[in-house]
Amino acid sequence: MEYSIEIKNISKRFRQGKHQIHAIRNLSLKIKKGEIFGLLGPNGAGKSTLLNIITTIITQDSGTVTLLDKNHQKEKSVLQRMSLASGDARFHWVLRVRDILKFYSIAYGLSRQEREKRISELSKFFGITGIMERRFDGLSTGERMRLVFAKSLLNNPEILLLDEPTLGLDPDIAIKIRSEILRMNKEMGMTILLTSHYMHEVEQLCSRIAFIRKGKIVDLGTAVDIKKKYGNLEKYFVKMVQEDETEQD
Amino acid sequence: MKLNRIKALIYRDFLILTRAKWRIVETIYFPVTTILIWGFFALYSETIAVQAGLIVLIVNIFWNFAYIAQSTANMQIMEDIWAGSLKQLFLSGITEFDYIIARLVTATIMSLIVMALILGISFFFTPSIFLKPGELAILTLVTLIGSMALSVIIASINVSTGREYGFFAWTVLQLFILLSAPFNPVELFPKFLQYISYVMPFTFIFEGARNLVLIGQIGNDIFLKSMISVTVYFIIGWPIYYLAFKRARRTGILAKLS
């Protein structure tokens, strides 16, 4: 079995005043090549921390992350084969859509010809050709998300991390974004690791799901397996949040 | 380090600089108006004390040049933090080194343009300061290195402390200038301040600038001291910068900045 992402015994603590918060506890996970994998969990469960560790924005205290058979801390060039599209991604407010795409394609080392071709393909794919001359601060939430997707595909990534990709979007745009995620996975064959709060989203998109809670994976399997086990994902999620709240009280 | 990444960042810097109108105002307006103010003072002072007016003018030229060179780099970093775009940059394979080098290149280009402009204006007030163009060029180079060194150190502070202490980007230089005894010999400071002043990156630069007016040359020893001083700052800056990023990744500040 070939894996795109192998996470082995990752732990991460953060200091908050005199206290230490255990954000990730000895977490291990393997994600197969070409699959869409969903990471579900309540706020503060460790989903974003895990994505930040995978992208090296946060360094782990212990454990290893292997991306496409390369240790991501030792062979940083592997990061160029990966991308992250986050629901809260931001760009400089004065830059236009075309500027942003051009800047990142230069940064990825695309030649002028490749750059023009790629930007044209992606702007068509995500339906942003009409807003190429608009400034980032003039875009709607849906347009921003489509730009984030287009930017994240400039380097033709083999791994795509999606952090809450439909958070705060209108239902019609969220539906479009979901179908685009499926299309990217099918047509481009990329491995997708997705975090979400929406049960139906992961059910619809993901071949496997992991529940993360207090920095640990508490369950992992196909949506069908987990449904069999708990009735439905929504119920299980609510139960987890309630238990967390009770413990905090 | 990859040239394409640095090229991309510089390309983006100039797009932002030309599109964000307030940045153009900050970069050009303040140096130009300051030099005009002190230029007229220098004209007036010809009747009372020629050298005093010239000293004020030449110190202001290098003060403004240092400010633009340092603040251009650090303000760009703060803009990335304010815009929340820093994480996106580092996700694209841009390294800490690419990031700061691009900032320094952009700041160098911008500050040299501003320097040419303010020197041009100064020429109309006091052509005499252009009698030694080689010495002016040397002082410009040393000031540039000193400002770049400070940019790297202030970038480290901004990355370690986050948005709350962003004001360091445009305020720290003022303190360094003040402690560098811009308009007076260091010996006029109280003893304890003299010790501090001698380790400031701009102290010998200002002394050299004053010498240029007073005796028509910087002086070899002053040039050497100023060069050593800025080089030390430049060397110290890099490990601090790398440590700041390492800490920001370890503590999660870098993720929060974005």
Report which residue type is found at B69: A
How many Cβ atoms are within 10 Å of B234's Cβ, its own excluded? Answer: 17
Taking CB atoms and an 8 Å cutoff, what residues of chain B touch A15?
Answer: 251
Say if the Cβ atoms of A94 and B20 lie within 8 Å: yes
Share of residues in chain A with pLDDT > 90 (%) = 42
Q: Is the pLDDT of residue A1 over 60?
A: no
In whole angstroms, what is the distance from residue B258 CA to residue B249 CA? 12
* A84:B8 CB<8 A: no
Higher local confidence (pLDDT), B108 or B50: B108
Whether residue A203 has pLDDT greater than 90: no
Which pLDDT score is estimated for B34?
Answer: 77
CA-CA-CA-CA torsion for B16, B21, B22, B23, nearest 10 degrees? Answer: 40
β-strand partners of A13: A22
User: Residue A218: its pLDDT value, please?
Assistant: 87
Q: What CA–CA distance (Å, rounded) separates A21 from A39? A: 20
The residue in chain B having the minimum alpha-carbon distance to the alpha carbon of residue A85 is B88
In whole angstroms, give the CA distance from residue A52 to residue A84.
10
The more confident residue out of B88 and B156 is: B156
Nearest CA in chain A to B254: A57
pLDDT at A65 over 90: yes
Q: A96-125 pLDDT, tens per residue?
A: 999 999 999 999 999 999 999 999 999 988
**pLDDT band at residue A191, thresholds of 50, 70 and 90?**
very high
SS3 (DSSP) at B85: coil
Task: Please state, in angstroms and rounded to a whole number, the distance separating the CA atoms of residues A37 and A202.
Answer: 8
Q: How many CB atoms sit inside 10 A of residue A109's CB?
A: 17
Q: Count of CB atoms within 10 A of residue B51's CB?
A: 12
- C-alpha pair distances (Å), A209 with each of A11, A200, A242, B237: 20, 12, 20, 46
- Give A155 to chain B, closest Cα distance, Å: 9
Contact B15 A103 (CB under 8 A): yes
Task: Name the least confident of A16-30, B101-115, B121-135.
Answer: B121-135
pTM reported for the whole predicted model: 0.84
Token output for B10: 């510089």
Distance between CA atoms of B185 and A94, rounded to whole angstroms?
45
Exposure string (b/e) for A130-146, b if CB count within 10 Å is 16 or more? ebbebbbeebeebbbbb
CATH superfamily of A3-89+158-248: P-loop containing nucleotide triphosphate hydrolases (3.40.50.300)
Unique residue bearing structure tokens 């630069």: B205
Helix axes A97-107, B3-19, angle to 10 degrees: 160
A245 pLDDT band (50/70/90 cuts)? low
Identify residues of B whose CB sits under 8 angstroms from chain A CBs.
2, 4-5, 7-9, 11-12, 15-16, 19-20, 79-80, 83-85, 87-95, 246, 249-252, 254-255, 258
Of the partner residues B4, B16, B255, the one whose CB lies closest to the CB of residue A95: B16
Token pair 């005043």 in the structure block, residue: A17
Residue A225's pLDDT band (cuts 50, 70, 90): confident
CA A163 to chain centre: 4
How far is it, in rounded angstroms, from Cα B67 to Cα A127?
44
Q: Give the pLDDT band (50/70/90) at residue B246.
A: very high
Best to test chain A binding among B5, B12, B106 (most A CBs inside 10 Å): B12
Check if the beta carbon of residue A150 is closer than 8 Å to that of residue A123: yes
Residue A104 confidence (pLDDT): 93
pLDDT for res A147: 92
CB atoms near residue B194 (< 10 Å): 15
Task: Give the per-residue SS3 of A154-186.
Answer: CCCCCEEEEECCCCCCCHHHHHHHHHHHHHHHH
Give the C-alpha separation, B196 to A248, whole Å: 52
Range of the domain at B217: 3-257
Spatial CA neighbour of B6 closest among B105, B111, B74: B105
**pLDDT > 80? residue A240:** no
Question: CB-CB: which of A90, A107, A155 is closest to B85?
Answer: A90
* Share of residues in chain A with pLDDT > 70 (%): 96
pLDDT at residue A61 above 90? Answer: yes
**Across the interface, which of B5, B16, B255 has its CB nearest the CB of A92?**
B16
Residue B155 Cα, gap to closest chain A Cα (Å): 17
Domain extent listing, chain A = 3-89+158-248
Encoded tokens for A80: 């160029």
Range name among A11-15, A214-218, B172-176, B242-246 with the lowest pLDDT average: B172-176
Strand A159-163 with A191-196, pairing = parallel
Measured between CA atoms, the residue of chain B closest to residue A60 is B250
Specify the DSSP element, H or E, that contains A10. strand A3-16
Retrieve residue A4's tokens.
Answer: 């795109």
How far apart CA A17 and CA A25 sit, in angstroms, is 20
Domain count within chain B: 1
Sequence-ordered list of residues with C-beta below 8 angstroms from that of B79, at least 6 positions apart, any chain: A92, B16, B20
> For residues A30 and A7, is the Cβ–Cβ distance under 8 A?
yes
pLDDT digits (tens, 9 = 90+) for A36-46: 999 988 888 88
Residue A228 structure tokens: 């069999």
Kindly report the average pLDDT of chain B as a whole number: 87
What is the amino acid identity at position B229?
S
- Using alpha carbons, select from A26, A7, A24 the residue that is nearest to residue A65: A7
**Inter-chain contact B83–A93, Cβ cutoff 8 Å?**
yes
Residues of B in contact with A109 (CB under 8 A): 2, 4-5
Asked whether the predicted pLDDT for residue B51 surpasses 90, the reply is: no
What mean pLDDT, rounded, does chain A reach?
87
Contacts of B46 (CB under 8 A, 6+ apart): B53
What residue in B sits closest to A135 (Cα-Cα)?
B19
Q: Is the pLDDT of residue A79 over 90?
A: no
Mean pLDDT comparison of A32-41, A166-175, B48-57, highest-scoring range:
A32-41
Interface test with B, best of A81, A106, A160 (most B CBs within 10 A): A106
Do A40 and A193 touch, CB atoms closer than 8 A?
no
Tell me how far apart the alpha carbons of residues B122 and B130 are, in angstroms, rounded to a whole number.
Answer: 9
Q: Are B99 and B248 in contact (CB under 8 A)?
A: no
